[in-house]
Structure 1
Amino acid sequence: MRYVLLVLGGLMALVGGVWLLQGIGVLPGSFMTGQAFWAALGAVLLAVGVILVFAALRTGGRR
C-alpha cells in the first residue's frame, strides 16, 4: 500500500505542478496557459499529491 500511495502521490504532484505552472503562464504553449482555473486546480492537485507522499512515508515504517 505504501508504494501505491507513493506512486499515486508523486504522479498527482507532478501533474499538479505542471498544471499550476501552465495556469500562471510559466509553461506556455497550451490552452491552459494563463488560465486561473488550471492554476487553482493544479495547486490543489499538487497539495493533495504532496500530502499522499508524506502519508506514505510516515506509515511505511519497518515491522
Structure 2
Amino acid sequence: MKGWFRLTLGLLAVVVGLVWTLQGLGTLRGSVMSGDDAWTIIGPIVVVIGLVLLTLGLRARNRGKRT
C-alpha cells in the first residue's frame, strides 16, 4: 500500500489542474473561473505538483516491491 496516498493525490491534482486551466482559457464555460487569466496560471502549477506527487508515489511503490 506504499505510495497509494501520493498517487491518489497526484492524480486528483492533475485532473483538477487541467480543469482549472481549461476554465481559465475559456474552453470550459459555466463557472465563475471561466475566462479568468489567474486560473490559466494556477492550473498548470497544480498539474506540475500533481505530476511530482505521482512520481513520488510510483517510486515509493516500486521501493516497496523490492523489499
Counterpart in 1 of 2:45? 44
Unpaired runs of 5+ residues, structure 1, are: none
| RMSD (Å) for aligned C-alpha atoms | 1.0
Cα deviations across residues 16-36 of structure 1 (Å, max 9, x unaligned)? 110000001111111111111
The yes-or-no answer on 1:34 pairing with 2:35 is: yes
1:59 Cα offset (Å): 2.6
Higher helix fraction (1 or 2): 2
SS in 2 for 1:51: helix
Q: How many residue pairs were aligned?
A: 63
Cα deviations across residues 9-50 of structure 1 (Å, max 9, x unaligned)? 111111111000000111111111111101111110011001
Counterpart in 2 of 1:6? 7
What is the distance in 2 between the residues matched to 1:57 and 1:10?
Answer: 12
SS in 2 for 1:60: helix
Percent of residue pairs identical: 37
Runs of 4+, deviation exceeding 4 Å: none
Unpaired runs of 5+ residues, structure 2, are: none
SS in 1 for 2:18: helix
